[in-house]
Structure 1
Amino acid sequence: MLHFRKTIISVLALFFGITSVSANPAEKMKMIGQYVVVSLDTNDVQSIYLEPDEIGTAVFSEKLDDLVSSWYINNIFLAKDVDTDFTLYRHISVSDSVLIGRLKKVEAAVKLSYNNIVRDWIEMYATRRPAQVEIMLGLSAYYFPFFEEIFDRYELPHELKYMAIIESALNPRAVSRAGATGLWQFMLGTAKGLNLEVTTFVDERRDVLKATDAAARYLKQLYNVYQDWHLVIAAYNCGPGNVNKAITRSGGKTDYWQMYYALPRETRGYVPAYIAATYIMNYYREHQLTPRFPAMALNTDTIMVGQMINLKQISDNLTIDLEALRELNPMYRRDIVPGSPEKSYPVRVPADQVSDFILRSETIYNHERDAHFPDNTLVAPQNSVIAGETEFSTEGKTRIMYTVKSGDNPGYIANWFNISLNDLRNWNNIRRNMIRTGQKLVIYVPEEKVDHYKRINNLSFSAKQALVGKPVTSGQVSEKNERPQRSEAASEDPDYEYYTVKQGDNLWTIAQKYPGISNTDIMKLNNISDVKGLKAGQRLKIRPKS
């Protein structure tokens, strides 16, 4: 609930160090207009805070893009018959009072405040990025039990698990622009201070169990210092030094919202994002969000390896794809597990292949051993690898150039050329997804498909989207005169009611317009097998006329 106070100017003057108010109040309000709203915290109605107005979703949006472009998501979490239109928006209007009421019902040790910036984050999750959130809901079923078990060991609130959503979008390979890596986004110095191994061959920041244990220890240390979970969450993001500076700059205040503008810009949105993540993970059903679970069983087990082995040796001898094995073991930077009699390392494999590994272990260890480990030794790498980035071999690949067109973005381009977003960024030194029209991008493609990929340069935006089975939605059409083509209506049955598909529609939203009709009914009636093939202008048979 928002309240406007007659004394707002004097309150602002005290808070921001304004020593006088001009004779023209409107002019003074124009100068500080973004701070004129006063908000009551939902959990402590006696405390009045200035309500922040900014939202920093750019960094988190980039993490979501990294997540959905990964091999793991596209090959395990997304079945071919699942809607993968990540541009889809869902508009479900929810009042402030309802959101506040729902937050109050969440049992949490971390105070769940509410204001317009928290609402913006909730809308970002529920409305602007629903498909990605559905993937994270599916991922949470895999990761959260690990988190909860470890947090329970350290007597930490279980809801702190939602921090990993903000840190990495539950992507163990996530790397920030500053170099923070893994599910819990540790910088190198912090990781080593927490006894995580980061070497040429191993990066335990990407190990789910090791990194989560380190995160729990770090959170415990921070809470011992601040005794306030909001400050702990902020310090986890920007470091205790920056939080201490913010406390000093705000005149010794230790309330997160009162020191909000003294914090680094990116950190300002961190606690609101955490609160919104807590909300959406508890109330996703109310926003018609459905978890996207793996399209295949993902029961895994761990084998402790006491000698050097390359993941390719395992892949070649077991029925598991090398890329899948890499995704199950993201901590091994060069596919090498540097096991030794002095120190064993874990290798995670599908549970149904553990016995095969044990029975065939001698064959696996000996397979192409001289090629991987000459003289049974680790070979120093010939080229350097930036921490958190995957090596890319150009063997069997051909270098081609793509010219950026108006409306392109790195996510689209990566999909069109069937490459990872990280590879595209690394090849072209792309930062923060910034590319410009006319820019030439280097892309490596399989030698046998060079002609296929070269012709993409000359295709329209709609044609390129069609190559990867993505319909064009409103605002995506980039060429000046290009428009989504309206399908010509086939001969319609006069005994049936029809609906004309509009930009942004999907089968679920269409079904909601007709009580008693489900999206499955529409699919059966119109012989639709691919939910991604819906196009603006298409005519759909809905139900018999009454």
Structure 2
Amino acid sequence: MTRKLGLAGVFLISLAVMNVFADRSDKEVVKRVNSIEVVALDSVEGYEKKYRIPDENLNDLFAEKIDSLLNSWYIQNVFEMPSGGGMQDSLPVVSIPDSVYIDRLQAIDSYVDLSFNKTVKNFIQLYTQRRRDQVEMMLGLANFYFPIFEEALDKYDMPMELKYMAIIESALNPTARSRANAVGLWQFMYGTGKMLGLEIGTFVDERRDPVKSTDAAARYLRDLYKIYKNWHLVIAAYNCGPGNVNKAIRRSGGARDYWSIYYRLPRETRGYVPAFIAAAYVMNNYKEHNLQVRYPDFPIVTDTIMINSYLHFDQVSAMANIPVEALEALNPQYRMNIIPAKKDKHYALKIPIESVAEFIDNEDAIYAFKRDEFFPNNEIINPKSSNSHHVSNISGKDKVLYTVKSGDNLGYISEWFHVRVSDLRYWNNISRNLIRVGQKLAIYVPQGQADFFASVNRMNFAEKQAYKKKTPVTKTTSASTQTSADGKYVYYTVRRGDNLWSIARKFPGVSNNDIMRWNNIRNANKIQVGQKLKIQSRS
């Protein structure tokens, strides 16, 4: 979608504000209920002829965007996908009286008008019945991103409910890219991002930075409100640009109400405000539709470290024991897993809260780890394109044999076994990444971890994709675990500094969502020291 700033040059139409809902007769079919405009859906013919109340299904515009969430690299890596690879989204449409939707919308504390009509209703049904899996993932992501949004909106004294716009923009996927090359949670085009002061370059794209892109979006929305003084028009202008909204206002005779200029707007923008209202509805009423929060498999409680020299995620992962996938999920703005920091230009790195002390204690060692390999002559390069390769020493390592399955490639296999593709090639004399089904590959893993990785041979593809996130463990957790009488479970005693994310990584094949389900936990942040958690082993 195209963003057109030009705020300084926007032609402000100096017409008196018109309210199309003023001076109506008793015969008209629109009624005001607690400041929410409600259209009587069983008798709109007369009113629609005069005001053209929207009654169109625009779900296709946003269904495609929501569906793309499932296929993104980001979502595939931060959620445990169903073992069968399929989603469960095709429920029949359930008829709910309009009065129920209206009552629930009225119960939401919102400075932005949450109107109700057929188009809004269509979007509510899309979210609650047609795209349930995607919405459950967005509910989980909201636990991480909404506090960031709310802090920026509070900073600029903006309505908190504007946070729901990011659901419409990106489905809360910070790496989202539209067909028009709008990027990030707030879907900024290159030019708009640069005008708002975001850095966009080879190694860093701040359109994908949750904190900085949100600050830019809040500033942009603030400037738009200075023009329109109407949040519906602001939301529309954010989508299609002030120029298109101004043209719609002029062609509608100067009306400055979104529903009055509705049919003068581009088709996508016509669905934008109804989709926003529906998102606000769902985020506040998901329990009434039996939607369950599906938490992402990365730590939600984090802290920020300022980096002042070149740093690669692999250095942090190796020395601070943080999986690269977690670093990528928490820091999507770094496009090549490289932080191009210098003494005169620092960058922020988000890491799990429990890893902060270890990072600080080992900071010098982290920067020094394999520095000549990642940054030869202290120059920033893309390690993936380097011709040099230091072969991993196999001395003292255990050998595992893996049989290649249909659909495998060296990239997948390297992730499943936590080794480098270049090492796989060297160990097995592979050229040009060519492998064949049935081929046995020799893989060298740290001593004592052969049993952990041997089970990969017995997994299907979806299970292996989930398994790659698990950190190999030794028997050091026995002091905090007890086995149940039937041997099917172990009971883990929560220790200081634990969270569900760190606990899950102590047990092969277990996710934080598994632990929540087995222990009937609703809020992942409310486990307590000394609490015993039931864990079913999946190794």
Please state whether the residue corresponding to 1:347 is helix, strand or coil: strand
2:132 equivalent in structure 1: 130
Rounded Cα–Cα distance in structure 1 between residues aligned with 2:227 and 2:351: 40
Rounded Cα–Cα distance in structure 1 between residues aligned with 2:291 and 2:303: 30
Q: Report deviation, 1:82.
A: 11
Contact 2:341–2:347 (8 Å) recurs in 1 = yes
Spell out the pairing of 1:193-208 with structure 2 (5 A cutoff).
193-208=195-210
Contact 1:88–1:131 (8 Å) recurs in 2 = no
Q: Report deviation, 1:325.
A: 1.3
Q: Report deviation, 1:67.
A: 2.3
> Which residue, out of 279, 282, 289, partners 1:280?
282
Rounded Cα–Cα distance in structure 2 between residues aligned with 1:233 and 1:313: 42
Rounded Cα–Cα distance in structure 2 between residues aligned with 1:45 and 1:113: 6
2:173 equivalent in structure 1: 171
Distance 1:38 1:169, change over 3 A: farther
Contact 1:163–1:274 (8 Å) recurs in 2 = yes
1:423 equivalent in structure 2: none
Please state whether the residue corresponding to 2:339 is helix, strand or coil: strand
Paired residues, number: 370
Contact 1:112–1:275 (8 Å) recurs in 2 = yes
Deviations 1:119-157 (A, max 9, x none): 000000001001111111111111111111211111101
Please state whether the residue corresponding to 1:135 is helix, strand or coil: helix
> Which residue, out of 266, 270, 273, partners 1:271?
273
- TM superposition score normalised by structure 1: 0.62
> Which residue, out of 221, 225, 228, partners 1:226?
228
> Which residue, out of 350, 358, 378, partners 1:376?
378
2:153 equivalent in structure 1: 151
Distance 1:302 1:296, change over 3 A: closer
Rounded Cα–Cα distance in structure 1 between residues aligned with 2:433 and 2:70: 22
1:109 equivalent in structure 2: 111
Contact 2:307–2:349 (8 Å) recurs in 1 = yes
Deviations 1:413-456 (A, max 9, x none): 99xx989xxxxxxxxxxxxxxxxxxxxxxxxx97556569xxxx
Deviations 1:38-72 (A, max 9, x none): 76676246997322233333342233233223455
Deviations 1:373-418 (A, max 9, x none): 22212238999xxxxxxxxxxxxxxxxxx9xxxxxxxxxx99xx98
2:98 equivalent in structure 1: 96
Please state if 1:304 is matched with 2:306: yes
Letter in 2 for 1:372: F
Rounded Cα–Cα distance in structure 1 between residues aligned with 2:289 and 2:92: 8
1:257 equivalent in structure 2: 259
Letter in 2 for 1:264: P
Contact 2:166–2:185 (8 Å) recurs in 1 = yes
Q: RMSD value over aligned CA atoms? A: 3.4
Letter in 2 for 1:349: I
> Which residue, out of 353, 359, 362, partners 1:360?
362
Q: Report deviation, 1:238.
A: 0.8
Contact 2:82–2:462 (8 Å) recurs in 1 = no
Contact 2:310–2:341 (8 Å) recurs in 1 = yes
**Unaligned stretches of 5+ residues in structure 1:** 1-36, 384-401, 403-412, 420-444, 453-465, 470-518, 521-529, 531-546
Contact 1:315–1:321 (8 Å) recurs in 2 = yes
Distance 1:192 1:297, change over 3 A: closer
Rounded Cα–Cα distance in structure 2 between residues aligned with 1:81 and 1:382: 31
Distance 1:276 1:83, change over 3 A: farther
2:56 equivalent in structure 1: 54
Rounded Cα–Cα distance in structure 1 between residues aligned with 2:330 and 2:199: 18
Distance 1:143 1:88, change over 3 A: same
Q: Report deviation, 1:76.
A: 3.9
- TM superposition score normalised by structure 2: 0.62
Rounded Cα–Cα distance in structure 2 between residues aligned with 1:446 and 1:71: 21
Rounded Cα–Cα distance in structure 1 between residues aligned with 2:433 and 2:91: 35
Letter in 1 for 2:172: L
Rounded Cα–Cα distance in structure 1 between residues aligned with 2:214 and 2:111: 19
Rounded Cα–Cα distance in structure 1 between residues aligned with 2:292 and 2:84: 12
Q: Sequence identity of aligned pairs in percent? A: 50
Deviations 1:172-222 (A, max 9, x none): 011111111111111111111111111111111111111111111111000
Letter in 2 for 1:208: P
Please state whether the residue corresponding to 2:255 is helix, strand or coil: coil
Q: Report deviation, 1:299.
A: 2.3
